[in-house]
A and B are shown apart, each in its own frame.
Chain A
Amino acid sequence: MLEIRWHSRAGQGAVTGAKGLADVISTTGKHVQAFAFYGSAKRGAAMTAYNRVNDKMIMNHEKYMEPDFVFVIDPALVFTSDVTINHKENTVYIITTHMSTEELVAAQPKLAGKKVYTVDCIKIAQETIGRPIPNTPMLGAFMKVSEMYDIEFFKESMVRILGKLPQKIIDANMVAIQRAYDEVK
């Protein structure tokens, strides 16, 4: 079982990102689950979304999770939420920030000694898609860190999933995914 927790703000596309990732993975024959914690969520409120991936049918519906990967797609959440909650010894963090990994760990000591990767998904999204929607770049970074799929296969799959959007937006998302793949450290 592979488990992922997303830290996001409502409106940044974590749910769409989690469902998109589940869709891509499902086409390779694996079983998937994507869900989120909803409250009376307002745009901008901190929220979490989740992915489970397994070779067998996923029966577990508990919301509790000790994630293998933590994605943080808003830079402030590292400081205002506990992104390390329920972590495992080998949990891997991919965090959106303008800082280097060293600077980030120095600023948030809870991340010290953990496997932390950084990438500026907000900046990438602004410069490519034209809006601060950091979900698809985060998935590009995840492909690099996890080596889950070849990036070209992943981008082709995402073209299908984004299918209903205007071609210009789809193209921009592909550039964003590739940039995050190249830039994550």
Chain B
Amino acid sequence: MAFDKMELRDIEVWDGNFAAAQALRQCQIDVVAAYPITPSTPIVEGYAKFLADGYVEGEFVMVESEHAAMSGCIGAAAAGGRVATATSSQGFALMVETLYQASGMRLPIVLNVVNRALAAPLNVNGDHSDMYLGRDSGWIQLDAYCPQDAYDLNFIAFRVSEDHDVRLPCMVHQDGFMTSHTAQGVKTLTDDEGYNFVGDFKPMNDMLDFEHPVTHGVQTEEDWHFEHKARQHNDLMTKVMPKIQAAFDDFEKLSGRKYNIVENYDMDDADVAVVCMGTSVETAREVATEMRAKGIKAGVVGIRVIRPFPFMQIAEALKGVKAVATLDRSAPGGTVGMLFNEIAGCLYNLDTRPMLSGKIYGLGGRDLTKKHLVDLYTELQANVDAGKITTPLQQFIGVRGPKLSFL
């Protein structure tokens, strides 16, 4: 069956959802099994429309839940096809069981996660609760800061995930509404450029290869389970980063757009820095530049690859900084934020060991304003001037009512 190509302008004004849907079309996904949920719905809706209009050769499988959606993706990936879907929030939570199946079975599936808060109380807006819920699931996790990234990182995701040395599923995260429903200029690839970057799908141990029968989804008890998990972890820790870096390098050659495992902004001589993810990275960059005009040497560390976690790269980025704040957009449920913990681990063995404090912000889509970030950099500079942390270790940004702080 032949499919039509689409003529795109060099720059299209797309929101993050449509950018991801276009990338799925250009990668020519064989199977999308999906159960739509706000705010990710337009991604699978977009793929379904492209399919119906003859722009993709594939299958759209309508299922009865997100658990079934990921199960369908697992089946299709095991059968031997290029597979993707999208979800958010409660849908992601329902998928969790099957996420571990996908990674444990070493199936290259791409999941677009449009980050949204987890109920209760019910909330459709963007925070990172669902992203954090998936961080131990054995998937690769890439993070987009804007619609352009959401488009580009889908190509990277297929390239890395389907590599026979990797064979691990990959999430592409974008912020609900702040990226998914925000239209911005997106520089496009032609259909041929996009498809050729990911290349033809190369099956491995596919169930539909009847000449070489294989078993998927096996049971192992204490005799082999640990070896499987250890090897999977070993591959995540050692094989994935070089492949991501190679994909970033090739993508830069193709598009001129450069991605990095850790996105350092004005970090070379920074005294104060914030570490964050999603749209906040870009807002923080703008504020960091404004702080430098006021004489505060501010920088931003944006995390592009969340899993595998770029431990050494972050330690390198922060080693010369005097005060660091981590920005977690997820309720930490009785401890410090995830980034505070991770970054503390990165910094602990450094001789310089910067001062570290953690902020919780933006839950349920609460706005992170430039004013908040100006205040944060000012506070970090005050820590530098005092030579010690002058505030509690954990504070909340942008919440109404009495000021909350802990530790």
Contact residues of A with B, CB < 8 Å?
18-19, 22-23, 26, 31-36, 38-40, 58-64
Number of A-B residue pairs having CB atoms within 8 Å of each other in the complex: 68
The answer to whether B282 and A19 have CB atoms under 8 Å apart is no
> Which of B56-64, B69-77, B91-99, B362-370 touches A?
B362-370
Instruction: Judge whether B184 is part of the interface by a CB distance below 8 angstroms.
Output: yes
CB distance from B10 to the nearest CB of A (A): 10
Chain A residue numbers with a CB within 8 Å of B185 are 26, 31-32
Query: For the complex, what is the distance from the CA of A40 to the CA of B370, rounded to whole Å?
Result: 26
A33 with B285, Cβ < 8 A, contacts A23-B13, A64-B367, A64-B369 known: no
Of the candidates A26, A33, A62, the one whose C-beta lies within 8 Å of that of B368 is A62
The answer to whether B124 and A61 have CB atoms under 8 Å apart is no
Instruction: Judge whether B188 is part of the interface by a CB distance below 8 angstroms.
Output: no
Instruction: Judge whether B309 is part of the interface by a CB distance below 8 angstroms.
Output: no
Instruction: Judge whether B183 is part of the interface by a CB distance below 8 angstroms.
Output: yes
The answer to whether A33 and B182 have CB atoms under 8 Å apart is yes
Of the candidates B11, B181, B279, B368, the one whose C-beta lies within 8 Å of that of A38 is B181
The answer to whether A59 and B183 have CB atoms under 8 Å apart is no
The answer to whether A36 and B13 have CB atoms under 8 Å apart is no
Instruction: Judge whether B280 is part of the interface by a CB distance below 8 angstroms.
Output: yes
Nearest opposing residue in chain B for A50, CB measure? B182
The answer to whether B282 and A33 have CB atoms under 8 Å apart is no
21 intermolecular pairs with C-beta atoms under 8 Å apart: A19-B13, A19-B183, A22-B13, A26-B13, A32-B184, A33-B182, A34-B182, A34-B183, A36-B181, A38-B124, A59-B283, A59-B286, A60-B282, A60-B283, A60-B370, A61-B178, A61-B283, A62-B367, A62-B370, A63-B369, A64-B369
The answer to whether A34 and B282 have CB atoms under 8 Å apart is no
Instruction: Judge whether B177 is part of the interface by a CB distance below 8 angstroms.
Output: yes
Instruction: Judge whether B125 is part of the interface by a CB distance below 8 angstroms.
Output: yes
Chain B residue numbers with a CB within 8 Å of A36 are 181
Chain A residue numbers with a CB within 8 Å of B280 are 61
Nearest opposing residue in chain B for A63, CB measure? B367
Nearest opposing residue in chain B for A40, CB measure? B124
Chain B residues 237 to 296 lying within 8 A of chain A, measured CB to CB, are 279-280, 282-283, 285-286
In order of increasing CB-CB distance, the 4 nearest A-B pairs are A61-B279, A35-B182, A59-B282, A34-B183
Chain A residue numbers with a CB within 8 Å of B282 are 59-61
CB distance from B342 to the nearest CB of A (A): 23
Of the candidates A33, A38, A64, the one whose C-beta lies within 8 Å of that of B183 is A33
Nearest opposing residue in chain B for A56, CB measure? B286
The answer to whether A35 and B125 have CB atoms under 8 Å apart is no
Chain A residue numbers with a CB within 8 Å of B181 are 35-36, 38
Of the candidates A34, A35, A39, the one whose C-beta lies within 8 Å of that of B178 is A35
Chain B residues 147 to 190 lying within 8 A of chain A, measured CB to CB, are 175, 177-178, 181-185
CB distance from A49 to the nearest CB of B (A): 10
Of the candidates A18, A26, A34, the one whose C-beta lies within 8 Å of that of B11 is A26
